[in-house]
């Protein structure tokens, strides 16, 4: 019996694939449980979204309705955060949102693996976002993008304020990735801890076995809360992407 609540986050090669898939610069690359889940998420979400709109009904089916609602949700989000010209980033933000959302939801399936509880994954996603922000900013404004780091202030304060703004900008990928990672990690650890209570109480015997119903009920409540968190964190990730893209597109316009 394994009651270690952190065991669920272990990245390991999947069963029957103990040999590295390939070697890159001497580092063995394994096909891990994390990779399996990411492949499943990518395949299932893209298959679902493409097939769901295939019937193209006037009165949508359940699947088509879900696909259209997620489309409108993300489009509305981008429009409200960045305005009209932000909509050309729709494919990127939509893919990001659906990927994070599906990773969070697939992680909720008992026995599966939560990809977004790995800081490596969330930081890679956040680095992608910030990379896109920097590239967009320099493509749109050229060297003028650096004005993002220059607030309106007298010159003698700028000596102090520019480093602060630069550090503040560099903070973004970290806070973006840590927020998603920590939320998923905390929630799933909590679930595993209460699951451990159920097992421990249930095997204690006598009146204690009956008491094991209490943490069981609590798990149901936490599970519901986690479903909310799973959606909320995907939403926060996407809306912050939009806010950062907005700053790259419009610099200080909105202040």
Partner 1 sequence: MVRPPSTRREGRFCAVFWDFWETDLTAPDPDRLNDLGKRLDELKTRQGARTQGPPPGQSSIAFRFATELVAALVVGGGLGWGIDWLFGHFGFHTRPAFIIVFFVLGAAAGIRNVMRAAHEINAEIEAKRASGDGNGKETGS
- The contact set with partner 1 (CB under 8 A) reads 47, 51-52, 54-59, 61-64, 72-73, 76-77, 80, 160, 163-165, 167-168, 170-171, 174-175, 178-179, 182-183, 231-232, 235-236, 239, 243
For the bound state, the minimum distance from the C-beta of residue 24 to partner 1, rounded and expressed in Å, comes to 27
Distance of closest approach, residue 57 Cβ to partner 1, in angstroms: 6
For partner 1, the closer of residues 146 and 216 by Cβ is: 146
Q: How far is the CB of 216 from partner 1 (least distance, A)?
A: 24
Q: Please provide residue 201's backbone torsions phi and psi, each rounded to the nearest 5 degrees.
A: -70, -40
**Sign (positive or negative) of CA dihedral 146, 177, 129, 89:** negative
Whole-angstrom distance, CA of residue 113 vs CA of residue 168: 33
Residues near 56 by beta carbon (within 8 Å), at least 6 away in sequence:
64
Q: Which is nearer to partner 1, 219 or 229 (CB)?
A: 229
Helix/strand/coil percentages in the chain, nearest 5: 75, 5, 20
Taking the least distance from each CB to partner 1, the nearer of 27 and 62 is: 62
Of 249, 236, 250, 255, the residue nearest 93 (C-alpha): 236
Asked whether the beta carbons of 252 and 147 are under 8 A apart, the reply is: yes
Minimum gap (Å) between residue 28 Cβ and partner 1: 29
| Comparison of 201 and 246: residue with beta carbon closer to partner 1 | 246
Nearer to partner 1 by Cβ, of 17 and 153: the residue is 153
Least separation in angstroms between residue 188's CB and partner 1 is 16
Contact between 190 and 175 under an 8 Å Cβ cutoff? The reply is: no
Residue 182 Cβ vs partner 1, minimum distance, rounded to whole Å? 7
SS3 category, 2:
coil
What is the largest distance, in Å, between two alpha-carbon atoms of the chain?
75
Which residue bears the tokens 């220059």?
150
* Burial category of 244 from C-beta neighbours within 10 Å (exposed 0-12, middle 13-18, buried 19 and up): buried
Tell me if 79 sits within 8 A of 87, measured CB to CB.
yes
CB of 64 to partner 1, least distance (A): 8
């Amino acid at each position: 019996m394994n009651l270690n609540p952190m065991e669920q986050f272990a990245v390991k090669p999947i069963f029957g694939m103990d040999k590295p898939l390939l070697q890159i610069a001497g580092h063995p690359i394994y096909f891990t449980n994390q990779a399996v889940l990411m492949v499943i998420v990518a395949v299932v979400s893209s298959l679902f979204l493409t097939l769901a709109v295939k019937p193209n009904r006037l009165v949508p089916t359940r699947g088509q309705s879900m696909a259209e609602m997620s489309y409108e949700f993300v489009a509305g989000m981008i429009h409200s955060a960045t305005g009209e010209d932000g909509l050309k980033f729709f494919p990127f933000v939509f893919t990001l949102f659906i990927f994070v959302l599906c990773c969070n939801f697939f992680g909720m399936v008992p026995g599966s693996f939560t990809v977004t509880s790995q800081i490596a994954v969330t930081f890679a996603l956040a680095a992608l976002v910030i990379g896109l922000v920097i590239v967009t900013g320099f493509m749109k404004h050229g060297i003028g993008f650096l004005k993002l780091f220059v607030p309106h202030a007298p010159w003698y304060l700028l000596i102090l304020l520019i480093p602060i703004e630069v550090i503040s900008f560099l903070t973004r990928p970290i806070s973006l990735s840590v927020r998603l990672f920590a939320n998923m990690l905390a929630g799933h650890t909590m679930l595993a801890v209460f699951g451990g209570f159920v097992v421990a109480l249930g095997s204690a015997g006598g009146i204690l076995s009956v008491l094991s119903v209490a943490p069981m009920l609590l798990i149901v409540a936490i599970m519901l809360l986690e479903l909310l968190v799973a959606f909320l964190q995907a939403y926060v990730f996407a809306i912050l992407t939009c806010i950062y893209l907005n700053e790259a597109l419009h610099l200080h316009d909105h202040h």
